[in-house]
């Protein structure tokens, strides 16, 4: 068979198998959930908590594209879990389990696997998730890692992108822009004396655990950039959105990143903050939830009647151009 | 942002986005299940059928490794679904939904996406599954496609690898070996006048829909090779297995593939037949189920007391060596 060495494994512990696959079993089997059946079966079993709906998301990261080449494997694993956890946070779901798909070059050494498993273990504990199963293959290309993650919600309470209504305020958690600034810092384009920007890019903090059902009409996490993601929520909800760039909360680094940092559309990439559409009557409850969670919250726009698009509005009410040649720029 | 063009998309239809991602939305959104929320949200919602457990599996295929370079995208999509469906078949699960993760080079043209979506659509109809969501990224490496697939079973009835007991017969569905022979045929190593071998490699037939709970003690699908997969079931069940190579059902092509075709361990790769551990008292029911399904079934070995390993047994009762330097050969 001309393809020896390329066959998938379901991570069953194997005798007489190439060392790298035995290592994978050794590193990953201890991370398995009960339903993962010790990672020795063809599939895993998920028993949703009684009366709950499952929420499922998937994200892939490619070496050198979604993280910088040379990034420690531990960080890669943690970021992979966190970008998926952020999607669950945006849906208002409680995390449960995940499946892991790895495609790695054959010369990937044990240190990488050990570091990757250590990163998974660390964030499994932090976020209360566990490994259900997955697949590993070798690849002649770059390391490519995917997670499919499961969470649960009470029936009918998942937060969607499509619920924003005219009159809702657009709110954002935390600050915007340090994700992409962290990438620039790691690329040596801007200074980062205390490493806080790089840390923000490397290890986003998913905004889990806030009871936003009944408060927000719509939610999503910011990963592609604030302006672009505003466009997603406006189009999904079929309503116009007036974004007020002057209201967008920045850190001191963000405030020095140029007058067009927000309006150009770059700010917000890799931030993993939440965008929320909240009607005025729920603003007090939103503030209360965020205060209890210790997370800052700011209104940065307003949904208004009109075609599903995003318009920039200056403090004096005039229109500001958003994005360079369009606010969609990935 | 130095990474424009590499950001993930959740397949939300987008304005002003690069043509390839708009095309993906166009091709894949029509394949979405109700819980996939039109592929416009951060995550999808799965409501398991009442009183059922979910069974979940994942498989990745890399261009040039799990299928030959130049393979039509339609076949790639169909094989990707089928290898995952085969895992569900091995667990005795009924297929439900899947998530799709694509990493594709930027120069991948519309024809590829259209063909891939056509393949998905074709097998979605055939097997009654639908798309829940997923992720797309670009990659500097080969096309890498992953599916996470969900099925359901009655609680506690999922077939496992670890249930084989001493005294059980080892049975196999269909015939063994044409998968790898099909690969060899496509590589020009052996003749394939009517193309049936190539077809078998390209489009395996998952053995879904048989009610084997209460009949089989253990099950798995053959994907890595018969001898190796026999090892998996023996080790998971912690019991010895006597494999009788002379009993392994072959097609005429398999019978001409050399005396050591079965014992060398190559036969069985990419076959996706089922291995079943069945106690003698259930053999009549097994035969009946398989006859109704129109699938041949043959006993090819027996689980016996002893350490968890596989031993080859000749018709005269003597031991036959299995595998070249060990029966695990991927």
Are B269 and A7 an interchain contact pair (Cβ–Cβ within 8 Å)? yes
Please report the ipTM that was assigned to this predicted complex. 0.82
Q: Are A91 and A208 in contact (CB under 8 A)?
A: no
* Element (DSSP H or E) covering residue B319: strand B319-320
Interface test with B, best of A141, A176, A264, A269 (most B CBs within 10 A): A141
Residue whose pair of structure tokens reads 């060392």 in the numeric block: A19
CB-CB neighbors (< 8 A) of B135 in chain A: 58-60, 146
With beta carbons less than 8 A apart as the criterion, state whether A275 and A230 touch: yes
Q: Do A42 and B13 touch (CB under 8 A)?
A: no
Q: What is the pLDDT of residues A143-191, one digit of tens each?
A: 999 999 999 999 999 999 999 999 999 999 999 999 999 999 999 999 9
CB A235 within 8 A of CB B10: no
Is residue B311 within 8 A of residue B216, CB to CB? The reply is no
Q: Is A171 exposed, middle or buried (0-12, 13-18, 19+ CB in 10 A)?
A: buried
Q: Which domains occur in chain B, in start order?
A: 19-153 (3.30.1330.10), 169-320 (3.90.650.10)
With vertex at residue A90, the alpha carbon angle to CA A89 and CA A93, rounded to the nearest 5 degrees, is 45
Gap from B211 CA to chain A (nearest CA, Å): 17
Q: Taking a contact as any Cβ pair under 8 Å apart, which residues of chain B between 279 and 308 contact chain A?
A: none
Q: Which of A171, A290, A188, A173 is nearest to A233 (CA)?
A: A171
Question: Within 13 Å of residue A93, how many CA atoms lie on the same side as its CB?
Answer: 34
Dihedral-angle region of residue A32 (phi above 0 means left; psi in -120 to 50 means alpha; beta otherwise): beta
| Cα of B7 to nearest chain A Cα, Å | 5
Q: How far does the CA of residue B198 sit from the closest CA of chain A (Å)?
A: 14
* Interchain CB distance below 8 Å, A59 and B330: no
Which pLDDT tens digit goes with each residue over A103-131? 999 888 889 999 999 999 999 999 999 99
The H-assigned helical ranges of B48-109 are 73-91
pLDDT of residue B233: 95
Q: Please state whether beta strands B169-173 and B218-221 pair in parallel, antiparallel, or not at all (unpaired).
A: unpaired
Tokens of A309: 């698009």
- CB–CB contact A135 B146 (8 Å): yes
Give A-chain residues touching B144 at CB under 8 angstroms: 103, 139, 141, 144
Is A238 touching B (CB cutoff 8 A)?
no
Alpha helical stretches, state H, B9-96: 19-28, 73-91
In chain A, whose CA is at the least distance from the CA of B44? A56
Full DSSP string of A145-173: EEEEEEEEESTT----STT--TTPEEEEE
For A253-308, the pLDDT digits (tens) are 999 998 899 999 989 999 999 999 999 999 999 999 999 999 999 999 999 999 99
**What whole-number distance in Å separates Cα of residue A176 and Cα of residue B157?**
49
Within 108-127 of A, beta carbons closer than 8 Å to B belong to none
User: Which residues in chain A have their CB less than 8 angstroms from residue B134's CB?
Assistant: 58
CB atoms within 10 A of CB A222: 29
Give the pTM: 0.87
3-state secondary structure of A62: strand
- According to the model, what pLDDT value does residue A38 have? 54
Contact B330 A7 (CB under 8 A): yes
Taking 80 as the threshold, does the pLDDT of residue A209 lie above it? yes
pLDDT at B49: 85
Q: Which of B20, B100, B82 is nearest to A57 (CA)?
A: B100
- A328: which chain B residues are within 8 Å (Cβ-Cβ)? 14-17
Alpha-carbon distance A281 to nearest alpha carbon in chain B (angstroms) = 25
Query: Which regions of B91-239 does DSSP assign to beta strands (E)?
Result: 94-104, 130-138, 144-153, 169-173, 218-221
Tell me if A14 and B42 make a contact (CB, 8 A cut-off). no
Q: Tell me which of A148, A150, A226 to substitute to probe the interface with B (most B C-beta atoms closer than 10 Å).
A: A148
Q: Alpha-carbon distance A247 to A314, whole Å? A: 9
Residues of A within 8 A of B48 (CB-CB) are 48, 54
- The partner residue sitting opposite B141, judged by closest CB among A2, A142, A329, is A142
Q: Which of B40, B103, B187 sits opposite A62 (nearest CB)?
A: B103
d(CA A25, CA B235): 14
**Would you state the pLDDT for residue B18?**
45
| Nearest-by-Cβ selection for A3 from B60, B65, B231 | B65
Cα A103 off chain centre by: 20
First to last CA, chain B: 41
Q: In sequence order, what are the beta bridge partners of B97?
A: B130, B150
- Residues of chain B with confidence (pLDDT) below 50: 1-18, 20, 324-330
Distance CA A268, CA A223 (A): 7
Whether residues B55 and A44 touch (CB distance < 8 A) is answered with: yes
CB contact under 8 A, A2 and B184: yes
pLDDT at A78 over 70: yes
């Amino acid at each position: 068979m001309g393809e020896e060495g390329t066959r998938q494994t379901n991570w069953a512990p194997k005798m007489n198998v190439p060392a790298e696959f035995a290592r994978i079993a050794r590193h990953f089997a201890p991370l398995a959930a009960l339903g993962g059946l010790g990672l020795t079966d063809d599939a895993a079993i998920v028993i949703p908590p009684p009366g709950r709906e499952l929420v499922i998301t998937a994200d892939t990261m490619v070496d050198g594209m979604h993280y910088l080449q040379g990034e420690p494997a531990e960080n890669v694993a943690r970021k992979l879990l966190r970008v998926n956890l952020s999607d669950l946070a945006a849906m208002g779901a409680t995390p449960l389990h995940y499946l892991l798909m790895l495609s790695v070059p054959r010369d990937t050494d044990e240190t990488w696997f050990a570091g990757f498993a250590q990163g998974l273990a660390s964030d499994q504990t932090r976020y209360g998730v566990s490994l259900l199963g997955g697949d590993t293959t070798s690849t002649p290309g770059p390391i490519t890692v995917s997670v499919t993650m499961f969470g649960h919600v009470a029936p009918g309470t998942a937060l969607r992108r499509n619920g924003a209504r005219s009159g809702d305020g657009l709110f954002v958690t935390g600050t915007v822009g340090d994700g992409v600034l962290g990438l620039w810092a790691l690329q040596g384009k801007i200074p980062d004396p205390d490493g806080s920007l790089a840390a923000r890019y490397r290890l986003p903090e998913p905004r889990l655990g806030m009871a936003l059902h009944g408060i927000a009409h719509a939610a999503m996490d910011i990963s592609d950039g604030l302006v672009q993601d505003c466009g997603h929520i406006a189009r999904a909800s079929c309503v116009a959105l007036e974004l007020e760039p002057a209201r967008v909360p920045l850190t001191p680094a963000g405030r020095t990143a140029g007058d067009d940092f927000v309006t150009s559309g770059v700010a917000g990439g890799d931030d993993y903050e939440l965008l929320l559409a909240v009607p005025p009557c729920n603003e007090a409850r939103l503030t209360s939830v965020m205060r209890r969670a210790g997370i800052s919250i700011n209104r940065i726009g307003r949904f208004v009647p009109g075609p599903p698009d995003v318009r920039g509005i200056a403090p004096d009410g005039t229109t500001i151009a958003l994005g360079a040649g369009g606010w969609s720029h990935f």
